[in-house]
Amino acid sequence: MHSINQRIDFLRESLKNLRNTGSIAPSSRFLCKNMADKIDTARAQVVVELGAGNGVITSYILDRLRPDARLLIFEINDAFVDKITQKFDDPRILLIHDSAEKMGKHFEKHGITHVDYFVSAIPFVMLPEAVAQNIIGECLRWLKPGGQFIQFHYSRVLVNYYKRIFGNATVDFVALNMPPAFIITCEKTSGK
Protein backbone atom coordinates (compact mmCIF):
# COMPACT_ATOMS: atom_id res chain seq x y z
CA MET A 1 0.00 0.00 0.00
CA HIS A 2 1.36 3.46 -0.84
CA SER A 3 1.58 5.92 2.06
CA ILE A 4 -0.44 9.14 1.97
CA ASN A 5 2.81 11.13 1.60
CA GLN A 6 3.82 9.05 -1.42
CA ARG A 7 0.44 9.67 -3.01
CA ILE A 8 0.60 13.41 -2.37
CA ASP A 9 4.15 13.66 -3.77
CA PHE A 10 3.08 11.74 -6.87
CA LEU A 11 -0.02 13.88 -7.33
CA ARG A 12 2.03 17.08 -7.02
CA GLU A 13 4.47 15.96 -9.73
CA SER A 14 1.65 14.69 -11.95
CA LEU A 15 -0.22 17.96 -11.87
CA LYS A 16 2.97 19.84 -12.79
CA ASN A 17 3.77 17.46 -15.68
CA LEU A 18 0.54 15.68 -16.57
CA ARG A 19 1.53 15.07 -20.16
CA ASN A 20 4.72 13.18 -19.25
CA THR A 21 3.36 11.53 -16.13
CA GLY A 22 0.08 10.43 -17.64
CA SER A 23 -1.60 9.50 -14.35
CA ILE A 24 -2.41 11.06 -11.01
CA ALA A 25 -1.64 8.08 -8.78
CA PRO A 26 1.18 5.55 -8.64
CA SER A 27 0.41 2.08 -9.98
CA SER A 28 -1.26 -0.33 -7.55
CA ARG A 29 0.66 -3.26 -6.11
CA PHE A 30 -1.49 -5.55 -8.27
CA LEU A 31 -0.38 -3.82 -11.45
CA CYS A 32 3.26 -3.60 -10.33
CA LYS A 33 3.42 -7.28 -9.35
CA ASN A 34 1.64 -8.46 -12.48
CA MET A 35 4.16 -6.61 -14.67
CA ALA A 36 7.22 -7.76 -12.73
CA ASP A 37 6.01 -11.37 -12.58
CA LYS A 38 6.42 -11.54 -16.36
CA ILE A 39 10.18 -11.42 -15.86
CA ASP A 40 11.81 -14.85 -15.93
CA THR A 41 14.57 -14.59 -13.31
CA ALA A 42 16.76 -17.16 -15.04
CA ARG A 43 16.97 -15.23 -18.30
CA ALA A 44 16.90 -11.66 -16.99
CA GLN A 45 20.47 -10.39 -17.19
CA VAL A 46 19.74 -6.83 -18.37
CA VAL A 47 16.39 -5.26 -17.53
CA VAL A 48 15.47 -1.67 -18.41
CA GLU A 49 12.68 0.25 -16.71
CA LEU A 50 11.28 3.27 -18.57
CA GLY A 51 9.43 5.92 -16.57
CA ALA A 52 9.96 4.63 -13.03
CA GLY A 53 8.17 7.53 -11.30
CA ASN A 54 8.60 7.08 -7.55
CA GLY A 55 9.86 3.51 -8.00
CA VAL A 56 6.74 1.49 -7.22
CA ILE A 57 7.32 -1.05 -10.02
CA THR A 58 11.08 -0.92 -9.44
CA SER A 59 10.78 -2.70 -6.07
CA TYR A 60 8.88 -5.59 -7.65
CA ILE A 61 11.36 -5.82 -10.54
CA LEU A 62 14.27 -6.00 -8.09
CA ASP A 63 12.55 -8.89 -6.29
CA ARG A 64 12.67 -10.84 -9.58
CA LEU A 65 16.34 -10.17 -10.37
CA ARG A 66 19.37 -12.27 -9.55
CA PRO A 67 22.24 -10.59 -7.65
CA ASP A 68 24.31 -10.41 -10.86
CA ALA A 69 21.54 -8.88 -13.04
CA ARG A 70 21.45 -5.18 -13.97
CA LEU A 71 18.52 -2.80 -13.88
CA LEU A 72 18.87 0.41 -15.89
CA ILE A 73 16.22 3.00 -15.11
CA PHE A 74 15.33 5.97 -17.34
CA GLU A 75 13.38 8.81 -15.72
CA ILE A 76 13.14 12.44 -16.82
CA ASN A 77 11.40 14.01 -13.81
CA ASP A 78 13.85 15.65 -11.35
CA ALA A 79 11.71 14.99 -8.25
CA PHE A 80 11.21 11.32 -9.15
CA VAL A 81 14.94 10.89 -9.80
CA ASP A 82 15.64 12.26 -6.30
CA LYS A 83 13.01 9.95 -4.86
CA ILE A 84 14.48 6.85 -6.51
CA THR A 85 17.98 7.84 -5.41
CA GLN A 86 16.81 8.06 -1.79
CA LYS A 87 14.64 4.96 -1.92
CA PHE A 88 17.08 2.40 -3.35
CA ASP A 89 20.61 1.50 -2.39
CA ASP A 90 21.09 -1.46 -4.69
CA PRO A 91 24.23 -2.16 -6.74
CA ARG A 92 22.14 -3.69 -9.53
CA ILE A 93 20.57 -0.30 -10.34
CA LEU A 94 21.91 2.26 -12.77
CA LEU A 95 19.64 5.32 -12.67
CA ILE A 96 19.77 7.48 -15.78
CA HIS A 97 18.27 10.95 -15.54
CA ASP A 98 17.47 11.28 -19.22
CA SER A 99 14.77 10.54 -21.75
CA ALA A 100 14.33 6.98 -22.96
CA GLU A 101 14.81 8.43 -26.46
CA LYS A 102 18.54 8.57 -25.65
CA MET A 103 18.83 4.98 -24.47
CA GLY A 104 21.28 3.97 -27.24
CA LYS A 105 23.86 6.55 -26.18
CA HIS A 106 23.69 5.36 -22.55
CA PHE A 107 23.78 1.66 -23.46
CA GLU A 108 26.93 2.20 -25.50
CA LYS A 109 28.52 4.16 -22.67
CA HIS A 110 27.80 1.37 -20.17
CA GLY A 111 28.68 -1.56 -22.43
CA ILE A 112 25.12 -2.83 -22.82
CA THR A 113 24.76 -4.81 -26.05
CA HIS A 114 21.25 -6.20 -25.58
CA VAL A 115 18.25 -5.99 -23.27
CA ASP A 116 16.28 -8.98 -21.99
CA TYR A 117 13.23 -7.05 -20.75
CA PHE A 118 11.87 -3.54 -21.05
CA VAL A 119 9.31 -2.67 -18.39
CA SER A 120 7.68 0.60 -19.37
CA ALA A 121 5.16 2.96 -17.80
CA ILE A 122 5.80 5.83 -20.21
CA PRO A 123 2.40 7.23 -21.26
CA PHE A 124 2.99 6.94 -25.02
CA VAL A 125 -0.62 7.92 -25.72
CA MET A 126 0.08 11.38 -24.28
CA LEU A 127 3.43 11.99 -25.98
CA PRO A 128 4.05 13.43 -29.45
CA GLU A 129 3.75 10.54 -31.91
CA ALA A 130 7.34 10.91 -33.15
CA VAL A 131 8.72 10.63 -29.62
CA ALA A 132 6.62 7.54 -28.86
CA GLN A 133 7.63 5.88 -32.15
CA ASN A 134 11.28 6.66 -31.55
CA ILE A 135 11.31 5.11 -28.04
CA ILE A 136 9.33 2.01 -29.04
CA GLY A 137 11.59 1.57 -32.09
CA GLU A 138 14.66 1.76 -29.86
CA CYS A 139 13.16 -0.89 -27.55
CA LEU A 140 12.69 -3.24 -30.51
CA ARG A 141 16.21 -2.53 -31.72
CA TRP A 142 17.91 -3.25 -28.38
CA LEU A 143 15.83 -6.26 -27.33
CA LYS A 144 17.50 -9.63 -27.60
CA PRO A 145 15.57 -12.13 -29.78
CA GLY A 146 13.09 -13.71 -27.38
CA GLY A 147 13.29 -10.65 -25.14
CA GLN A 148 10.10 -8.91 -24.03
CA PHE A 149 8.64 -5.43 -23.97
CA ILE A 150 6.13 -5.05 -21.11
CA GLN A 151 4.02 -1.89 -21.07
CA PHE A 152 0.92 -0.71 -19.28
CA HIS A 153 -1.76 1.66 -20.53
CA TYR A 154 -5.22 2.68 -19.38
CA SER A 155 -6.75 1.74 -22.72
CA ARG A 156 -6.20 -0.74 -25.56
CA VAL A 157 -5.75 2.02 -28.11
CA LEU A 158 -2.12 1.17 -28.97
CA VAL A 159 -2.46 -2.63 -29.02
CA ASN A 160 -2.66 -2.83 -32.82
CA TYR A 161 0.27 -0.45 -33.13
CA TYR A 162 2.39 -2.74 -30.92
CA LYS A 163 1.26 -5.73 -32.98
CA ARG A 164 2.47 -4.03 -36.15
CA ILE A 165 5.84 -3.12 -34.64
CA PHE A 166 6.62 -6.37 -32.81
CA GLY A 167 4.47 -8.77 -34.82
CA ASN A 168 2.66 -9.92 -31.64
CA ALA A 169 1.08 -8.60 -28.44
CA THR A 170 -0.75 -10.23 -25.55
CA VAL A 171 -2.97 -8.19 -23.27
CA ASP A 172 -3.77 -8.66 -19.56
CA PHE A 173 -6.39 -6.63 -17.74
CA VAL A 174 -5.75 -5.43 -14.17
CA ALA A 175 -8.99 -4.25 -12.59
CA LEU A 176 -7.44 -3.40 -9.23
CA ASN A 177 -5.72 -0.21 -10.29
CA MET A 178 -6.83 3.41 -10.43
CA PRO A 179 -7.86 3.54 -13.26
CA PRO A 180 -7.98 -0.14 -14.32
CA ALA A 181 -5.08 -0.93 -16.64
CA PHE A 182 -4.02 -3.13 -19.54
CA ILE A 183 -0.59 -4.76 -19.63
CA ILE A 184 0.66 -5.29 -23.16
CA THR A 185 3.51 -7.77 -23.61
CA CYS A 186 5.37 -8.13 -26.90
CA GLU A 187 8.16 -10.51 -27.74
CA LYS A 188 10.98 -9.79 -30.16
CA THR A 189 10.87 -12.58 -32.70
CA SER A 190 13.88 -13.47 -34.82
CA GLY A 191 12.46 -11.86 -38.00
CA LYS A 192 12.24 -8.41 -36.35
Ligand X SMILES: C[S@@+](CC[C@H](N)C(=O)[O-])C[C@H]1O[C@@H](n2cnc3c(N)ncnc32)[C@H](O)[C@@H]1O
Q: What is the contact surface with ligand X in residues (CB under 6 A)?
A: 20-23, 26-27, 50-53, 56-57, 74-77, 80, 99-101, 121-123
Considering only CA atoms, which of 169, 176, 172 is closest in space to residue 192? 169
User: Could you tell me the smallest distance in angstroms from the CB atom of residue 139 to ligand X?
Assistant: 12
User: Could you tell me the smallest distance in angstroms from the CB atom of residue 149 to ligand X?
Assistant: 15
Across the beta sheet with 181-187, what order do the strands follow?
A: 93-96, 70-74, 46-50, 115-120, 143-153, 181-187, 170-174
Residue 44 burial by CB count (10 A; 0-12/13-18/19+): exposed, middle or buried? buried
* 90 or 146: CB nearest ligand X: 90
User: Could you tell me the smallest distance in angstroms from the CB atom of residue 87 to ligand X?
Assistant: 12
* 94 or 167: CB nearest ligand X: 94
Helix 78-87 / helix 4-16 crossing angle, nearest 10 deg: 150
* 120 or 148: CB nearest ligand X: 120
* 23 or 185: CB nearest ligand X: 23
- Three-state DSSP state, 46: strand
User: Could you tell me the smallest distance in angstroms from the CB atom of residue 31 to ligand X?
Assistant: 7
